[in-house]
Every structure is written in structure tokens, then in C-alpha cells.
Chains A and B, each alone.
Chain A
């Protein structure tokens, strides 16, 4: 089974509107972290936001927020007030085993979602 699933095809949003990018994950580890990265057409990977499995509140970073629903194993990225510069590919990723001697330092990535912002 895939650990990170991003199934939306290309997404489109009108400038200044909000958009939600879906991510579901699969793990039996109680201690994990979820990440979102942005990859614009220039190719670099830009870290956006992080949510830990034990965090009590949903993470927010400026216009980015993470809608974390632990029971549903979903970690959707919400971008508010979309800008033309938000057009990019977005990747959800997970790191398992944040605690303990067997702490796993590896990230597993989803296949990504392409977002296009229309003027």
C-alpha cells in the first residue's frame, strides 16, 4: 500500500480564492510528521509546512494551513488567497518514527499535485 496518496489530477483555482490540496497517508506508527513541499517550474523544492502527529493544533504558516484529520489519516494543504506565484507542483511527505532509538530519518513522498492559478 502506498504510504502517501495524492490522487487529485491537475487543480485549477482563480486568483485570490482558496484551494485545498488533498493528502492521505498510511502508517501504524503513532509518532510521525507530515510535510508539504512546493516545486515551481524552476525545479527547486521549497518546504512549506509541517504537522506532527502529536500536535494539538493544525499547523499554519502565513497563507498555508494544514487541515489535519488524524482519524481519517488525512493532511490536506489549504492555500488561502491564491496568487499567480502559487502555480507549482505540491508534494505531501511523511516521516515515521520521530521518537525512540529507532527514529527513522527518511521522508516518503507522494506523487504530487499540479496547481494552476488563473488570473
Chain B
């Protein structure tokens, strides 16, 4: 049982380049999330998908797009990377049930030069 997987683990981009961060979960969770983590800022929600076929903006959506490809996969795209998007990106999925905890992937460390 792999849980939540993310690819790639590390990436360096030049300003203006584009890339897609991939996320997949094998826990049959309905909801999936993308966060970014910056020093001293905690985790901030970029986009989320409450269920297959729906996506919504979070706290910091500018400069990003998402696709909920199917129930398992939720990708995050940077169309034109900027240095301000240098961050660690986490994907998460949420269990059903009373506790509602989110399970996180290992993260992608992205540097934009």
C-alpha cells in the first residue's frame, strides 16, 4: 500500500518554464489537495478537489492550475514558473470517517531560478 505518491521529488526550473507535478493515491479517497510550504509560513492550500470532477481554489491559487484526472490522480501545473514559486509542494488526500485527517505525500522540492 503506497499511500500518496508524488513525482518528481526534486525539480529545478528556469523562470518561464512550465511543469506538472503528479500526485496519486491508492486509498480510494474522494478528496485531494495541493499545498505549498515555505519557511516560516506553514502549509498553505493552493487547490483542492472535494471529489472526482470538481476542483476549487485554496488560499494561494495564482500561477497554478490543477486537473483531477480520475479518482486516484490530481496534478498541479505551473504554466510559467516564477522564483516566488520556489517551495516544497505537498499533495494530500482525505479519508472518509469522523476524524477527517489528511494523508500527505513525501513532497516535491521545486527551485525556480
Q: Does B1 contact A (CB under 8 A)?
A: no
Sort chain A's interface into a size bin: 20 to 34
Q: Which residues of A contact B92 (CB under 8 A)?
A: 45
Contact B100 A111 (CB under 8 A): no
Contact A33 B100 (CB under 8 A): yes
A-B pairs under 8 A by CB, number: 52
Q: Which residues of B contact A110 (CB under 8 A)?
A: 42
Q: Does A57 contact B (CB under 8 A)?
A: no
Q: Which residues of A contact B72 (CB under 8 A)?
A: none
Contact B98 A109 (CB under 8 A): no
Q: A-side binding surface: helix, strand, loop or mixed?
A: strand
| Residue in contact with B48 in the complex, picked from A52, A105, A108, CB distance below 8 Å | A105
Contact B42 A112 (CB under 8 A): yes
CA gap between A112 and B88 in the complex, in Å? 15
Q: Which residues of B contact A93 (CB under 8 A)?
A: 43
CA gap between A37 and B43 in the complex, in Å? 11
A94: shortest Cβ distance to chain B, in Å? 11
Contact A107 B45 (CB under 8 A): yes
Q: Does A44 contact B (CB under 8 A)?
A: yes
